[in-house]
């Protein structure tokens, strides 16, 4: 059997991806073979497909870190042909082991999770790492005492996949959400998914002092870099910043003052857990759960497998809105 896959190669000193046709035997080994139905496009997937950065660490390799579909064959007693499953995240899938952007995927059984009751194959990856990471961030805000009465929560990189879900989940819990975006034309979208106010990216920036006007009870930051420093300097007393992204930069400079004079907390969020190792936040997003996003079908949209490379290019060059889900098969 032959099938299509997008594969990243390292040739002539640079990384490049192309669509190939290959056989099942060309896939990395694993107990579970899955006929792919949907795959997600994360920021890091787009970088991998476009050959930017250091996401893929073995060549050639099929990128893509999230897929859902039906088990086509299994040598593991845990899964049977026809089971609807998903593989998401971890340190290997789509990085050192062939990933999601193949019409078939083969992985160790330990990486495979059943799709939670009430979710379908589309929703499992539409939510995926993006909503899960945001839900973990929201859990941390709650754990550290940031209740809706404490004040506004600002979400940076607002139109991105993760941040769109953060806005949706927070608004569903009754928080007043301020969305910070570099795409002012998307204000209507951001309000439709729950933002009470939309501000420009530049409005996060602040004066030069180590501590500036107190604005935010909480922050969910997808961008890192200089905006993260600005957030820290404008948090209210005992404010909490949950940081999970690096879209604006991997490093930032700050001072000790937000921490020792305003008791601000900076919490790093890692949502890159395989489905089988996820905490409660994953199931809290299923139907009836308190962290369930209410606007998944406004945030996530379908693209064809043929459109993947052009979409990734656009995401890297000019940014896209929300979260693309690739239809891998009918």
Ligand X SMILES: NC(=O)c1ccc[n+]([C@@H]2O[C@H](COP(=O)([O-])OP(=O)(O)OC[C@H]3O[C@@H](n4cnc5c(N)ncnc54)[C@H](OP(=O)(O)O)[C@@H]3O)[C@@H](O)[C@H]2O)c1
Using rule CB under 6 A, residue 162 touches ligand X? yes
For ligand X, the closer CB: 33 or 65 = 65
Query: What whole-number distance in Å separates Cα of residue 106 and Cα of residue 3?
Result: 13
Which residue's structure tokens are 């996401």? 55
Tokens of 211: 């501590």
CB of residue 157 vs ligand X: minimum separation in angstroms?
3
Cβ within 8 Å of residue 287, ≥6 positions away: 117, 118, 119
User: Could you give phi then psi for residue 16, rounded to 5 degrees?
Assistant: -150, 145
CB 190 within 8 A of CB 159: yes
For ligand X, the closer CB: 75 or 91 = 91
For ligand X, the closer CB: 27 or 220 = 220
- Which region, judged by CB under 6 A, interacts with ligand X, from 66-74, 104-112, 151-159, 306-314? 151-159
* Single residue of 148, 238, 319, 327 touching ligand X by CB under 6 A: 319
Element (H, E) at 265: strand 265-268
How many CB atoms neighbour CB 313 within 10 A? 14
- Which region, judged by CB under 6 A, interacts with ligand X, from 51-59, 119-127, 253-261, 265-273? 265-273
Q: What is the CA radius of gyration of the chain?
A: 20
For ligand X, the closer CB: 51 or 160 = 160
Using rule CB under 6 A, residue 94 touches ligand X? no
CB of residue 260 vs ligand X: minimum separation in angstroms?
26
Using rule CB under 6 A, residue 49 touches ligand X? no
Using rule CB under 6 A, residue 266 touches ligand X? no
Using rule CB under 6 A, residue 238 touches ligand X? no
Task: Please list every residue from 163 through 222 that binds ligand X, using CB under 6 A.
Answer: 181-183, 201, 222
Task: Please list every residue from 270 through 289 that binds ligand X, using CB under 6 A.
Answer: 270-272
Query: What whole-number distance in Å separates Cα of residue 45 and Cα of residue 213?
Result: 37
How many CB atoms neighbour CB 252 within 10 A? 18
* Single residue of 26, 33, 38, 43 touching ligand X by CB under 6 A: 43
CB of residue 226 vs ligand X: minimum separation in angstroms?
9
Query: What whole-number distance in Å separates Cα of residue 323 and Cα of residue 300?
Result: 5
* Single residue of 22, 246, 265, 296 touching ligand X by CB under 6 A: 246
CB of residue 271 vs ligand X: minimum separation in angstroms?
4
Q: How far is CA 97 from CA 113, 202, 271, 323, in A?
A: 17, 39, 19, 24
- Name the pairing type of β-strands 153-155 and 216-221: parallel
Q: Which of 50, 44, 84, 35 is nearest to 64 (CA)?
A: 44
For ligand X, the closer CB: 22 or 265 = 265
Point out which residues bind ligand X (CB under 6 A).
42-44, 129-130, 133, 157-162, 181-183, 201, 222-223, 244-248, 269-272, 315, 319
């Amino acid at each position: 059997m032959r099938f299509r896959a997008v594969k990243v190669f390292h040739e002539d000193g640079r990384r490049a991806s192309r669509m190939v046709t290959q056989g099942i035997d060309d896939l990395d080994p694993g107990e579970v073979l899955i006929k792919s139905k949907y795959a997600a496009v994360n920021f890091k997937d787009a970088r991998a497909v476009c050959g930017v950065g250091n996401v893929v660490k073995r060549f050639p390799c099929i990128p893509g870190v999230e897929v859902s579909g039906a088990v086509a064959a299994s040598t593991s007693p845990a899964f049977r042909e026809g089971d609807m499953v998903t593989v998401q995240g971890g340190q290997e899938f789509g990085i050192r082991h062939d990933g999601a952007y193949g019409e078939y995927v083969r992985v160790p059984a330990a990486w495979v999770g059943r799709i939670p009751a009430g979710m379908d194959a589309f929703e499992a990856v539409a939510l995926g790492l993006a909503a899960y990471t945001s839900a973990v961030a929201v859990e941390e805000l709650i754990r550290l005492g940031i209740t809706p009465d404490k004040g506004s929560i600002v979400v940076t990189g607002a139109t991105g996949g993760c941040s769109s879900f953060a806005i949706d989940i927070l608004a569903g819990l009754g928080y007043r959400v301020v969305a910070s975006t570099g795409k002012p034309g998307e204000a209507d979208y951001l309000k439709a998914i729950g933002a009470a106010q939309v501000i420009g990216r530049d409005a996060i920036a602040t004066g030069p002092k180590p501590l500036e006007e107190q604005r935010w009870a909480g922050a969910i930051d997808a961008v890192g870099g200089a905006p993260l420093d600005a957030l820290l300097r404008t948090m209210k007393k005992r404010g909490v910043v949950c940081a999970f992204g690096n879209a604006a930069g991997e490093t930032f400079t700050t001072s000790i003052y937000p921490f020792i004079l305003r008791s601000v907390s900076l919490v790093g969020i890692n949502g890159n857990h395989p489905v089988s190792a996820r905490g409660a936040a994953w199931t809290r997003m299923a139907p009836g759960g308190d962290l369930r996003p209410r606007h998944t079908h406004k945030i996530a949209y379908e693209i064809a497998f043929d459109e993947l490379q052009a979409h990734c290019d656009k995401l890297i060059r000019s940014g896209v809105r929300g979260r693309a889900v690739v239809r891998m098969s009918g």
